[in-house]
Amino acid sequence: MVLTGAGISAESGVRTFRDDGGLWEGHDVNAVATPEGFARDRELVQRFYDARRRSLAHVEPNPAHLALARLEEELGEDLLVVTQNVDDLHERAGSRRVVHMHGELLRAACEACGSRPRWEEDLLPSPPCPVCGARALRPDVVWFGEVPYELDRIGRAVSGCDLFVSVGTSGSVYPAAGYVSLAASSGAHTLELNLEPSEGSRFFDEVRTGPAGRLVPEWVEELLGG
């Protein structure tokens, strides 16, 4: 199992969450990434995510995304990629077995019927849900205080894997930050590939530092035997 975070997409030009010049610059996290913020100012939040959705047209998968897609070609169902990212760079690189635990920018979520339709346009002004017709669409992004998607499936994958690899994660956001301990306790070898050691690097069997665009292709080449 491979867990990816903001660091893998940063090299494609996707702005990251917790850096000084990061994604939330100019915005209080509570204003744009919580259900309470959305309730206070729906227009601000929709405008914020509309801009993020449009920005996907200006970024491309990098060698790390492409290497993971190549690994899937070789391993098939023996590989699962779980990403904390809401972009579509894994899919554009060719990966098909991807779980977006924090949602996807290219989906909307209907607060009326619960559907999660594919969505590539702006959510302002409030368009109707293509399933039920209600004007109750919001970004399909898991905000602080909400439960990530597919936790049961992810938990089974973590506890059942032989190799757990974390790429470009801060090691500070739970539940994802706890997966290395679960994998290790289940007997998996654990590897961190990160620009610098994460907050949870001490829990990994092995830590390699450097840009994901170099480390991931090198690791995949090593794993596949050159």
- List, by residue number, the catalytic residues: 102
Helix (H) or strand (E) holding 131: none
Length of the chain: 226
Q: What gap in Å lies between CA 101 and CA 115, rounded to an integer?
A: 16
Look up residue 204 and give its two tokens: 């990994």
Give the C-alpha separation, 43 to 222, whole Å.
48
Question: What spatial distance separates the first Cα and last Cα of the chain, rounded to whole Å?
Answer: 20
- Determine if the peptide bond prior to 130 is cis (ω within 30°): no
Location of structure tokens 């905000």: 143
The neighbouring-strand residues paired with 98 are 81
**Burial letters 113-148, b for 16+ CB under 10 A, else e:** eebeeebeeebeeeeebeeeeeeebbbbbbbeeeeb
d(CA 136, CA 123): 10
